[in-house]
Amino acid sequence: MLKATVTGRIWSTKKLGEVPAGSILEVQVDGTSTTMLVFDPLGCGDGEKVIVATGSVAASWFPGKSPPIDALVIGSIDEASVAAGKKK
Amino acid sequence: MLKATVTGRIWSTKKLGEVPAGSILEVQVDGTSTTMLVFDPLGCGDGEKVIVATGSVAASWFPGKSPPIDALVIGSIDEASVAAGKKK
Amino acid sequence: MLKATVTGRIWSTKKLGEVPAGSILEVQVDGTSTTMLVFDPLGCGDGEKVIVATGSVAASWFPGKSPPIDALVIGSIDEASVAAGKKK
Amino acid sequence: MLKATVTGRIWSTKKLGEVPAGSILEVQVDGTSTTMLVFDPLGCGDGEKVIVATGSVAASWFPGKSPPIDALVIGSIDEASVAAGKKK
Amino acid sequence: MLKATVTGRIWSTKKLGEVPAGSILEVQVDGTSTTMLVFDPLGCGDGEKVIVATGSVAASWFPGKSPPIDALVIGSIDEASVAAGKKK
């Protein structure tokens, strides 16, 4: 998975009918200049640090027929995490 | 998913029979020099900003047996999106 | 998919029995220094511009049990394509 | 697979219900500045060198319905490995 | 697929039970500084040039339930290949 920071949000009116209703975030992968668009079922906000899963596992998370979604926020990272990791 | 801008269109006469009829766009991934070829069911035009899903989820979108297509335009990005994201 | 140019061809005598008989091309991804090996069912030649699909969709194209092939030439690009895209 | 070194650990309280209970490590891919988040069923510690599998094969390892996990520690690398490889 | 050169070999005593018995090579992707770990059913040696398939197609090659293996040596490249490609 990737550690990323929410930097924005996009809207799409003209889209495939199979794209699920919900929020599509723009995130920046930490430590890089790479940005991605990610489906967010968790309601994350700008600046929040998130865990992003990519590929077919993102689509398989959805109930029923898998939609054409290849990136999913699977969690928000607790603020204490990095410090705890570094202390060890 | 990737945020990309349509930069062109390619035609292929000599191709596998399993490639679906339809438009194959050339897009540039925003913020990079990376270009990709993407199947477009939405009729997007040059300069349009699009959402691209990649990998097996692109192939699974097609009805029936999945074709050898690994990139799909799933939506066009509304012009107001980036500004809205930045204001938040 | 990727737009690439055929730069060579490789032969492999010592290989898995599940690798299908046929041509494996070396291609260079356009606009990059990245090279890849790609299974070619279309009989493309050196210098030809091709469309390459990657990942499990390449393997799924083969009839019967999917072979361990992760890159497939799905088409040859018509010479007029790039110019047409740029004029639009 | 990737050879990586464990550099930390993250915690996530706000997460999808389908994320399995267990440890999510932060690792750095050897020879690069790339970092990733990886599910670790083996109890690896900081500084340990690990083998990371990515993509849908990581999700398929879990029993039952595959969770939205795209990176998995599949082994810890014995210390003697690199030296042995170089001597050959 | 990727063209790579075998540079070493790793051993892992502490690993998932689902990792198949066999050789895991370290390879360097030709023309890059990228290194990968690859399962090798063919008994390749240091310095040998190999064809590597990645992703779920590598796991699907194994009989029975797919193991968490995302890279597989599918062939060894005949020495004459590159020269032949260049001459054409």
C-beta of residue B57 within 8 angstroms of C-beta of residue A69: yes
Whether the per-residue pLDDT at C54 is higher than 90: the answer is yes
Mean pLDDT confidence for A18-38: 97
Tokens 């599918």 sit on residue = E74
Averaged pLDDT, A36-58: 98
Annotation: CATH topology of B2-12+19-87: OB fold (Dihydrolipoamide Acetyltransferase, E2P) (2.40.50)
The whole-angstrom separation of Cα A32 and Cα A51 is 15
CA C29 to chain centre: 10
Chain A: touching chains (3 or more CB pairs < 8 Å) = B, D
Query: Cβ(B51)–Cβ(B74) under 8 Å?
Result: yes
pLDDT at D84: 45
Mapped onto helix, strand or coil, the DSSP state of residue C10 is strand
Residue of A nearest to B85 (CA): A8
Nearest residue of A to residue B43 by CA position?
A14
Give the amino acid at D74. Answer: I
Average pLDDT, chain D: 92
Name E81's bridge partners.
Answer: none
Q: Please state the separation of Cα A22 from the chain's center in Å.
A: 12
Residue type, B8: G
Alpha carbons B72 and B60: distance in angstroms, whole number:
10
Q: Are E24 and E52 in contact (CB under 8 A)?
A: no
Query: Residue D78 — pLDDT band, cuts 50, 70, 90?
Result: very high
pLDDT score recorded for residue E51: 98
Mutation target for B interface from A5, A13, A16, A73: give the one with most B CBs within 10 A.
A16
> Using 50, 70 and 90 to split pLDDT, how confident is the model at E31?
very high
The beta-strand segments (E) located in A1-88 are: 2-10, 23-29, 35-40, 49-54, 71-76
Inter-chain residue contact C7 with E85, CB threshold 8 Å: yes
Is 70 exceeded by the pLDDT of residue C84? no
Cβ separation B11–C84 shorter than 8 A:
yes
> Is the sign of the CA dihedral E22, E24, E25, E31 positive or negative?
positive
Question: Which residue numbers in chain B have pLDDT < 50?
Answer: 83-88
Using an 8 Å CB-CB cutoff, list chain A residues near B54: 70
Residue found by looking up tokens 């193991």 in the block: E67
Q: What pLDDT does residue B79 have? A: 81
Asked whether residue A87 carries a pLDDT value surpassing 50, the answer given is no
Q: Which residues contact B33 (CB under 8 A, 6 or more apart)?
A: C31
Inter-chain touch D2–E37, beta carbons under 8 Å? yes
Q: Which of B62, B59, B2, B1 is nearest to B29 (CA)?
A: B2
Instruction: Kindly determine whether residue A38 and residue B2, on different chains, have CB atoms separated by under 8 Å.
Output: no
- C-alpha C35/C-alpha C5 separation (Å) is 9
Instruction: Give the DSSP H or E segment for E51.
Output: strand E49-54
Q: What CATH number should be reported for the domain whose range is D2-87?
A: 2.40.50.220
The per-residue pLDDT for E79 is 81
- Whether D86 has a pLDDT exceeding 70, the answer reads no
pLDDT at residue E87, as a whole number: 41
The residue extents of the domains of chain B are 2-12+19-87
User: In chain D, positions 42-71, which contact chain E (CB-CB < 8 Å)?
Assistant: 42, 51, 53-58, 60-61
For the record, the structure tokens of E70 come out as 């995302």
Q: Any residues with CB less than 8 A from the CB of A5 and at least 6 apart, and which?
A: A27, A28, A30, A47, A48, A49, A50
d(CA B37, CA B70): 9
State the smallest CA–CA distance between residue C69 and chain E in angstroms.
Answer: 6
Tell me, what's the pLDDT at A82?
56
User: Do the Cβ atoms of B6 and C86 come closer than 8 Å?
Assistant: no
Residue (of C68, C71, C21, C75) closest to C44 by Cα position: C75
Residue A88 clears pLDDT 80, i.e. is over it? no
- For CA atoms A55, A56, A60, A64, give the dihedral sign: positive
Amino acid at B28: Q
First-to-last alpha carbon distance for chain E, in angstroms, is 21
Q: What pLDDT is attached to residue C79?
A: 81
Assembly ipTM:
0.93
pTM above 0.90, yes or no: yes
Q: Which residues of B touch A34 (CB under 8 A)?
A: 31-32
